């Protein structure tokens, strides 16, 4: 069978569904590959490179009339008319939002596989183009924000003074949100993020960001990996949180999409409360925008100096690597559809992955697919919405709680002082001197170590190893003392010091090995 790679017909699109590298992989699966002339030019892939990888170069008609046609975006009406009845078309189709496309494919008698309808299960991750595109878009969103933002992302300490790091707030902890968190964190920004799905909190924190807690506004654990429509009460509670977070942020990146539709997360009033020079990058602009003021495809500056980036082509702004990743998703799909690696497509509707992304089969409409349970996490109990409390009553309760906590602390301090006085009064005279040295050592050690920068923890560990060595020598000298009490303490001190020394050097060795190049 022949696979056709046509040139993208959407205006401004720079991506291509296959690269020279992925073409060679398709050829190994037994397929003949034809690439439309100039299809990869915008992504810096020449026709010569495609020929060297085993593809033939043809015109648009040849590519569209192939047995299997793979493209990035859904074909327009003219391109659908060029499809051969019985052929297979593989592309992103948004079938739920565009039923007319489904009807057109059925009328043409083709089998249509929607790349953006891949079930969110582990086995399908290798061909999930939504994750691929979202990952690129999240990374590119930070690049766009860095270009517009009037400051540096990372904090600086120089002879001329210091600058604070940028504060970034990411709405959504999906693939795009996590990519944005990672990119912003790697640039040195302080990142906070929120997602209505509670299971996303651990992923957000694993990327180095702080997960904004808003339990009453969060949903139960999702069963399909996607966020659901929020209730009116959840929307109200999240709006309060969004307003507070955006007012303190330098950069806000929104990524919320529910089945291709963009819920409203930032209102005009929230934008008006942001500081001049702040930046909003709306990754959901293609679905209408999360921000009320977003203009899809454009960048605007509000009256109070907030820049809102609403580009819908972020993935096309990195065409080379995006095309490579997208093409790899296609290869993984074709491996699934070609079990014998003989160049013949075999569609298996018993496979939940293939069934989930099949929109039409030989002209028969199969959309929407049956639901697939993809989460191994049991559904949690519904989150109860906390009752609304009068702010004045809440303030009084907090003040009373603080007063009681202060009283308990004072009582504790008083009891400690009494016990300390009694112990000093009834102990030998030498005890007071030893105890004074011990207390001073605790205070000095605490304040010295707490003020050490994280970057100096490794040399600090070496210093504590040296101190532990001194402790070990002193403990060894006391072993065999006539007093069993002194001998017991010496044994414990020697054991603990040995653990600290050997454990510290082992950790230091492993850390240094991370930066050692193989010979």
pLDDT of 436 reads: 79
The answer to whether residues 184 and 93 belong to one domain is: no
Is residue 130 in some structural domain? no
CA-to-CA separations, 291 to 94, 167, 300, 449, in angstroms, rounded: 22, 19, 12, 45
The answer to whether residues 181 and 290 belong to one domain is: yes
Cβ–Cβ under 8 Å, residues 4 and 34: yes
Distance, CA of 445 to CA of 404 (rounded, Å): 31
Query: Which listed residue (82, 111, 131, 316) is catalytic?
Result: 131
Residue indicated by tokens 């007012």? 247
Q: Which residues contact 307 (CB under 8 A, 6 or more apart)?
A: 148, 278, 279, 280, 299, 300, 301
3-class state of residue 32 by DSSP: strand
Query: Which listed residue (44, 59, 123, 125) is catalytic?
Result: 125
The answer to whether residues 109 and 57 belong to one domain is: yes
> For 281, how many CA atoms within 13 A lie in the half-sphere containing its CB?
29
- 195-218 core/surface letters (b: 16 or more CB in 10 A; e: else): bbbbbbbebbeebebebbebebbb
Distance, CA of 326 to CA of 442 (rounded, Å): 58
- Classify residue 372 as exposed, middle or buried by CB count within 10 Å of its CB (0-12, 13-18, 19+): middle
Distance, CA of 9 to CA of 76 (rounded, Å): 7
The answer to whether residues 193 and 308 belong to one domain is: yes
Query: Which listed residue (50, 82, 108, 128) is catalytic?
Result: 128
Q: Which residues contact 108 (CB under 8 A, 6 or more apart)?
A: 80, 81, 83, 85, 363
Cβ–Cβ under 8 Å, residues 134 and 140: no
Distance, CA of 192 to CA of 226 (rounded, Å): 21
Distance, CA of 15 to CA of 314 (rounded, Å): 11
pLDDT of 486 reads: 84
The answer to whether residues 29 and 141 belong to one domain is: no
Is residue 91 in some structural domain? yes
The DSSP result for 33-89, as a single string, is EEEETTTTGGGT--HHHHHHTT-EEE-HHHHHTSSEEEEEEPP-HHHHHHSPTT-EE
The answer to whether residues 9 and 69 belong to one domain is: yes
Is residue 286 in some structural domain? yes
Report phi then psi at 187, rounded to 5. Answer: -85, -5
Query: Which listed residue (226, 413, 434, 446) is catalytic?
Result: 226
Q: Which residues contact 143 (CB under 8 A, 6 or more apart)?
A: 183
- Straight-line distance from the first to the last Cα atom of the chain, in angstroms, rounded to the nearest whole number: 47
- Number of domains within the chain: 4
Domain that holds residue 96: 2-117+318-365
Q: Is 207 left (phi over 0), alpha (psi -120 to 50) or beta?
A: alpha
- Classify residue 265 as exposed, middle or buried by CB count within 10 Å of its CB (0-12, 13-18, 19+): buried
Distance, CA of 322 to CA of 16 (rounded, Å): 9
Query: Which listed residue (10, 120, 236, 317) is catalytic?
Result: 120
Q: Does residue 120 carry a catalytic annotation?
A: yes
3-class state of residue 346 by DSSP: coil
pLDDT of 516 reads: 66
Strand order in the sheet with 307-309: 210-211, 190-194, 167-171, 251-254, 279-282, 307-309, 299-301
The answer to whether residues 483 and 463 belong to one domain is: yes
Is residue 270 in some structural domain? yes
Cβ–Cβ under 8 Å, residues 344 and 1: yes
What CATH number should be reported for the domain holding residue 304? 3.40.50.720
Q: Which two tokens stand for residue 317?
A: 């702004």
Q: Does residue 197 carry a catalytic annotation?
A: no
Is residue 39 in some structural domain? yes
Residue indicated by tokens 């806000």? 252
Is residue 222 in some structural domain? yes
The DSSP result for 237-292, as a single string, is HHHHHHHHHHHH-SEEEE---BTTB----B-HHHHHTSPTT-EEEETTGGGT-SBT
Cβ–Cβ under 8 Å, residues 375 and 220: no
The answer to whether residues 107 and 213 belong to one domain is: no
The answer to whether residues 163 and 300 belong to one domain is: yes
In DSSP terms, 266 is beta-bridged to 291
Please identify, among 365, 381, 398, the residue that sits at the C-terminal boundary of a domain: 365
pLDDT of 511 reads: 72
Q: Does residue 125 carry a catalytic annotation?
A: yes
The answer to whether residues 167 and 275 belong to one domain is: yes
**Looking only at Cα atoms, what is the longest distance across the chain?**
102
The answer to whether residues 308 and 332 belong to one domain is: no
The answer to whether residues 309 and 322 belong to one domain is: no
Is residue 446 in some structural domain? no
Is residue 304 in some structural domain? yes
Q: What is the pLDDT along the chain (519 residues), one digit of tens a residue?
A: 999 999 999 988 999 999 999 999 999 999 999 999 999 999 999 999 999 999 999 999 999 999 999 999 999 999 999 999 999 999 999 898 899 999 999 999 999 999 999 998 888 999 999 999 999 999 999 999 999 998 999 988 888 889 999 999 999 999 999 999 999 999 999 999 999 888 888 999 999 999 997 755 555 444 444 555 566 777 788 889 999 999 999 999 999 887 678 889 999 999 999 999 999 999 999 889 999 999 999 999 999 999 999 999 999 999 999 999 999 999 999 999 999 999 999 999 999 999 999 999 999 999 999 987 654 444 444 545 455 555 566 677 778 888 888 888 888 888 888 887 777 777 777 777 777 787 888 877 777 767 766 556 666 666 677 778 888 888 888 888 888 888 888 899 889 888 888 887 787 777 777 666 554
Q: Does residue 351 carry a catalytic annotation?
A: no
């Amino acid at each position: 069978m022949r696979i056709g790679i046509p040139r993208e017909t959407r205006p401004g699109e720079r991506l291509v569904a296959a690269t020279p590298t992925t073409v060679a992989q398709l050829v190994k699966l037994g397929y003949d590959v034809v690439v439309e002339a100039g299809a990869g030019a915008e992504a810096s892939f020449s026709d010569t490179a495609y020929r060297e990888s085993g593809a033939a170069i043809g015109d648009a008609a040849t590519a569209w009339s192939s047995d299997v046609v793979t493209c990035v975006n859904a074909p327009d009406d003219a391109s659908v008319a060029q499809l051969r009845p019985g052929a297979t078309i593989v592309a992103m189709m948004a079938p739920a939002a565009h039923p007319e496309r489904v009807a057109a494919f059925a009328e043409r008698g083709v089998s249509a596989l929607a790349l953006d309808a891949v079930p969110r299960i582990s086995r399908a991750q290798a061909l999930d183009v939504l994750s691929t595109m979202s990952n690129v878009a999240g990374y590119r969103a930070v690049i766009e924000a860095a270009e517009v933002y009037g400051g540096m992302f990372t904090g600086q300490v120089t002879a001329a003074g210091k600058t604070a790091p940028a504060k970034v707030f990411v709405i959504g902890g999906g693939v795009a949100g996590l990519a944005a968190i990672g990119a912003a964190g790697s640039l040195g920004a302080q990142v906070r993020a929120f997602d209505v799905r509670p299971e996303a909190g651990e992923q957000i924190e694993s990327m180095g960001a702080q997960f904004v807690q808003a339990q009453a506004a969060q949903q139960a654990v999702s069963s399909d990996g996607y966020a659901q429509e929020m209730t009116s009460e959840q929307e109200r509670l999240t709006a309060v949180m969004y307003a507070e977070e955006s007012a303190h942020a330098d950069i806000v990146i929104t990524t919320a999409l529910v089945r291709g539709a963009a819920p409203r997360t930032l209102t005009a009033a929230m934008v008006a409360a942001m500081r001049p020079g702040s930046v909003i990058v709306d990754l959901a602009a293609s679905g209408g925008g999360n921000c009320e003021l977003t203009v899809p495809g454009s960048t605007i500056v509000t009256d109070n100096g907030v820049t809102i980036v609403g580009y819908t082509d972020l993935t096309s702004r990195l065409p080379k690597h995006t095309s490579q990743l997208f093409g790899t998703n296609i290869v993984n799909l074709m491996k699934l559809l070609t079990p014998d690696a003989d160049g013949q497509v075999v569609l298996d509707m018993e496979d939940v992955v293939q069934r989930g992304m099949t929109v039409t089969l030989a002209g028969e409409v199969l959309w929407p697919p049956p639901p697939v349970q993809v989460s191994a996490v049991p559904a949690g109990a519904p989150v109860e919405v906390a009752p609304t409390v009068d702010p004045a009553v809440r303030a009084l309760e907090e003040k009373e709680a603080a007063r009681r906590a202060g009283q308990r602390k004072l009582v504790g301090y008083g009891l400690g002082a009494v016990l300390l006085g009694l112990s000093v009064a009834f102990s030998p005279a030498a005890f007071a001197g030893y105890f004074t040295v011990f207390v001073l050592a605790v205070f000095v050690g605490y304040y010295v170590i707490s003020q050490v920068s994280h970057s100096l923890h490794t040399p600090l560990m070496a210093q504590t190893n040296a101190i532990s060595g001194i402790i070990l020598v002193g403990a060894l000298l006391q072993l065999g003392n006539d007093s069993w009490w002194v001998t017991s303490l010496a044994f414990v001190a020697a054991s603990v010091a040995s653990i600290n020394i050997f454990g510290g050097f082992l950790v230091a060795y492993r850390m240094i090995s991370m930066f050692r190049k193989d010979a």
